[in-house]
Structure 1
Amino acid sequence: MSHYKSYPVYKNSGVEWIGRVPEHWETLRIKRAAALRNERRNDLPNGWTYVGLEDVESESGRYAPTKGESRLSDDSMVGVFRAGDVLYGKLRPYLRKAIVTERDGVCSTEFLVLIAGRAVATWLHCWLLTPDVTQQIEAGCDGAKMPRADWEHVGSIPMPLPPPAEQSTIAAALDRETIRIDALIAKKTCFIELLKEKRSALITHAVTKGFDPDVKMKDSGVEWIGEVPEHWNTARLANIGSFSKGSGGTKADDADVGVACIRYGDIYTTYDTLIRKIVRFITEQASSSYTPIQHGDILLAASGETFEEIGKSSVYLGDENCVCGGDVIILRPVKIVDPAFLAYALASSVSQSQKKLMGKGFTVIHIYAGDLRDLVIVLPPKDEQRSISRHLEKKLASIDGLISTTQRSIDLLKERRSAFIVAAVTGQIDLRCQSGDLPISNDSRRVTCA
């Protein structure tokens, strides 16, 4: 952003976390520049759109509509918005969900409906999505698991305010730049999804067909597996391993050094198929209430948020003493099974589709060892298992490297996007000269009720 000029003269905003602002700007509380619309109704008028929290993307404030009308029951109470209002998601404000509306409609009561006054709607929208404002709003939220912001607190938060024409000019410049950055992020995100699909297909092919293109095939006898190499067999997990359940305390047991520990959440967020290095430790004293694991144990997450990901698994291939916490299912393979191969087999789409059918629950999905015992995999001879798992690890390392590099570039773009917005709405850069050919585009940040 070094090519953007600063304003000629600045003054202290009087708010420590905002800092200095251009001399001709005001700093006032949001409630002095916008008002809360508190209209409610329990129907969806013909031609109106319903907007739920799930229709607004986090951080970008992009409107991505689903079939909203089908989510309304006859007695649903909804908020009313008018053209030019700003919808701000008050549930879990860290998600940063806000949009500007173009026409009248109704929305989830989990939105604050804000009427733009002295603050131009697009300016208010930009300000509400800045990280510092999100932090200020979060600090005043009620509820630990489901934090909600209220208007009294949101309205009390300070906001820099240029003259109306300048607000529109800056918002227009932000619009163009953020759309450009968002387009780059979308392309890179799509590339990552393609790489993940390629990764999944590679694993599934390797553990059900192998890498020898000339091998003779036979019918596996299992409809969803199809043909397998002639010398391979199918096996239920019950016949190739023993199951046990993890146990343990809470994150309060965590320590910088101590006993290596794997929690069920780590399987989703921290580790991939193979675990060689542990990143979490617990105190020696707390470790006695956890379940010890050993090299080669398969760890499956016993609960999750979706059927598609339930039972995600990793194999522990480390050498240090390690324990696992509760909500982890431990599968200890017999000697004829290579642990790494089994972990890859459980990560295949063939296994995941079986686990999906075994999942139970609604808000939280659970899977149980009693059901996993019946999961069927394809099993080559052990020497071939080892060969396949080693070959897979090398091939996947290349794909994972590309995914990691691309994700880092996405993170940098998001940082640049956020920094640009903050610099613009606090007056650290002067975008007034950017105005002439920068009309506010009719893009998906705004609700079009067509």
Structure 2
Amino acid sequence: MNPRRIFSQEREPAQATDEQLSATQKSGVIPQRLYMEQEDQKVVLALAGLDNFKRVRAGDFVISLRSFQGGIERSSYDGCVSPAYTVLRPKLKTDGGYFRYLLKTDEFILKLQSVTSGIRDGRNVSYEQFALVPLCFPPLPEQTAIAAFLDRETAKIDALVEEQRRLIDLLREKRQAVISHAVTRGLNPAAKLKPSGVDWLGDVPEWWEVASVRRCSTRVVTGSTPSNDAPNTEQDEAFAWYTPGDFSEELLLSASARSVPSSTVLAGELRVFPSNSVLVVSIGATLGKVGYSEVACSANQQINAIVPNEKVTARFLAYSLSEKTAVMRFLSNASTIGIMNQEKTKEIVIAVPPIREQDDIVRYLDQRTSELKALSETAEVAITLLQERRAALISAAVTGKIDVRDFAAETEAA
């Protein structure tokens, strides 16, 4: 059916008492105060007034600046939205739950994109463009049955997805606990312990040394950016240039997303870290992220490189520092704009076993973290499959490929 027969475009002006709403792909159209709470961020309110804003009534749909990517959102609230948005109001008797699912299916979004070629971030989908995409319009009782069916079935799938996400969180916590115990207590549960004298270390095996990064390194160096040649990804013989975005839970750093020409390095325009340096993100949201490189490399100014001395191996130092994120945030005064400069980095204290024991601990941690990673990856695959199942189920139901009338009859009988 032509969308113009189902939805009208509403330009009802906002009232002075209307609450500002935000169109979100995750939660639909909700009050901005709720959006700010959910996302833990501030949005710009229309302090100058709502003269140009459009009124939204509960049950309306809103075409936002992101609808060509994530579909059209339904509102359960009265309020108002930006004049850049398009407000759709049902003209016929419809079940809002049915269209809430239909207007966010992959098939609908692809069709919407096909009639809005050239749209980029910051542009809206017009009512005229929306009207070019025919919509399935089953009888009202069947719309209601489909919505009820999908509410029940997607809730089951969402619960399973949430279980897998909780499992991933638990595996992440387990990984940190395994690392923390190994690098502070070692592998011998019967080892005699002594006080380390450092709150965040606690007791350590009595034959281990307690030392600062200053005493475990030949130097700590901050990264740099070349003055002439911008980092790029097209050099055949490029030199790795790491940024915080290259860091993950994997401690061994892989290829950097960006690089610099070898000629820049040879010209001395870039600080170079020797092989087996340990890199630490020293500012920003990922402050405390750790990695190590088996080859010579470079990095930007947000990263400090620690060059280990004979007391520690690079891999043991990387494991030790990887569970010191909270310590780094404390030392960096992260309540403001946390910065771990070279001096603060040198102040971090770690437990230092003999080299042979470090190697044993690293081998143990490599194996245990690999096992935990495999379990986490299995959970991620399960989430992907469940989400694919969810999308396929919605698509099949709203387009009539599966008959949900028996479900409706069972629900009424119950």
How far has the Cα of 1:391 moved from its partner? 1.0
**3-state SS, counterpart of residue 185 of structure 1:** helix
Change (3 A) 1:285 1:332: closer
Q: Distance in 2 between matches of 1:203 and 1:347?
A: 8
**CA displacement 1:230-260 (0-9 Å, x = unmatched):** 2333333333332221436999822496536
Q: Compute the displacement of 1:183 (Å).
A: 1.6
What's the CA shift for 1:201?
Answer: 1.0
Alignment of 1:265-344 (within 5 A): 265-268=244-247, 272-275=250-253, 277-278=254-255, 280=257, 282=259, 284=261, 288=265, 292-304=272-284, 306=285, 309-317=286-294, 322-325=297-300, 327-344=302-319
Pick closer, same or farther for the CA change 1:95–1:236 going to 2, 3 Å. farther
CA distance in 2, matches of 1:219, 1:98: 58
Match of 2:145 among 163, 166, 169: 169
Partner amino acid, structure 1, of 2:402? D
Percent of paired sites with the same residue: 24
Write the mapping of 1:176-325 to structure 2, written as runs, cut at 5 A.
176-241=152-217, 242-247=220-225, 253-255=232-234, 258-259=237-238, 261=240, 263-268=242-247, 272-275=250-253, 277-278=254-255, 280=257, 282=259, 284=261, 288=265, 292-304=272-284, 306=285, 309-317=286-294, 322-325=297-300
* Superposed displacement of residue 370, structure 1: 4.4
Closer, same or farther: CA 205–124 of 1 in aligned 2, 3 Å? same
Structure 1 contact 61–96 (Cα < 8 Å) conserved: no
Match of 1:445 in 2: none
The equivalent of 1:446 in structure 2 is none
Q: 1:436 aligns with which of 395, 403, 408?
A: 408
Q: CA deviation at 1:341?
A: 1.2
**Deviates further, 108-117 or 160-169:** 108-117
CA positional deviation for 1:394: 0.9
Q: Displacement of 1:61 after TM fit?
A: 6.1
Q: For 1:329, what is the secondary structure of its paired residue?
A: strand
Structure 2 distance, partners of 1:142, 1:219, is: 60
Distance change in 2, residues 1:433/1:260 (3 Å): farther
* TM-score, normalised with respect to structure 1: 0.69
Shift of 1:141: 5.3
What SS does the aligned partner of 1:335 have?
Answer: coil
Q: Give the distance between the partners of 2:240 and 2:4, measured in 1 at CA.
A: 46
CA contact (8 A) 2:9 2:86 kept: no
For normalisation by structure 2, the TM-score amounts to 0.75
Query: What pairs up with 1:20-59 in 2 under 5 angstroms?
Result: 26=1, 28-29=2-3, 33-36=7-10, 40=14, 58=26
Alpha carbon RMSD of aligned pairs, Å?
4.4
Amino acid at match of 1:213: P
2:316 & 2:335 partners in 1: Cα distance? 30
What are structure 2's unaligned runs of at least 5 residues? none
2:368 aligned with 1:395:
yes
Please give the alpha-carbon distance, in whole angstroms, between the structure 2 residues aligned to 1:156 and 1:252: 45
Q: CA deviation at 1:139?
A: 6.1
> 1:246–1:329: 8 Å Cα contact kept in structure 2?
no
The correspondence for 1:347, drawn from 322, 334, 358, is 322
Name the amino acid aligned to 1:403: S
- Preserved CA contact (<8 Å) 1:30 1:154: no
Q: For residue 217 of structure 1, report the CA deviation from its aligned partner.
A: 1.9
- Cα distance in 2 between the residues matched to 1:392 and 1:379: 16
SS at match of 1:234: strand
Asked if 1:384 corresponds to 2:357, the answer is: yes
Identify the range of structure 1 (281-290 vs 183-192) with the bigger mean alpha-carbon deviation.
281-290
Q: 1:123 to 1:149 in 2, by over 3 A?
A: farther
CA drift of 1:392 comes to: 0.9
Residue identity matched to 2:290: S
The answer to which structure has the higher strand fraction is 1
- Amino acid of the residue matched to residue 254 of structure 1? T
In 1, the alpha carbon distance for the partners of 2:238 and 2:385 equals 34
* Offset of residue 74 of structure 1: 11
When residues 92 and 163 of structure 1 are mapped into structure 2, their CA distance, relative to the original with a 3 A threshold, is closer
- Contact 1:51/1:68 (CA < 8 Å) preserved in 2? no
Larger of the two Rg values belongs to structure: 2
> What SS is found at the alignment partner of 1:331?
strand
Q: Check conservation: 2:5, 2:91, Cα contact below 8 A.
A: no
Cα 1:30–1:268 change in 2 (3 A) is farther
Higher mean C-alpha displacement, 107-116 vs 231-240:
107-116
Q: Could you report, residue by residue, the CA deviation over 1:161-212 in whole angstroms, capped at 9, with x for unpaired residues?
A: 3234243333333333322221211111111111111111111111222222
* Contact 2:231 2:260 (8 Å CA) reproduced: no
1:379-409 Cα distance to aligned partner (Å, 9 max, x none): 2233222221221111111111100111111
The one-letter code sitting in structure 2 at the alignment partner of 1:405 is T
Please say if residues 207 and 344 of structure 1, whose CA atoms lie closer than 8 Å, have aligned partners that are also in contact.
yes
What code does the residue aligned with 2:350 have?
Answer: I
**Kept after mapping to 1: 8 A contact 2:3/2:130:** yes
User: Would the alpha carbon gap of residues 86 and 259 (structure 1) be closer, same or farther in structure 2, given more than 3 Å must change?
Assistant: same
Conserved 8 A contact 1:52-1:68: no
Q: Output the amino acid matched with 2:289.
A: K
Query: SS in structure 1 opposite 2:222?
Result: strand
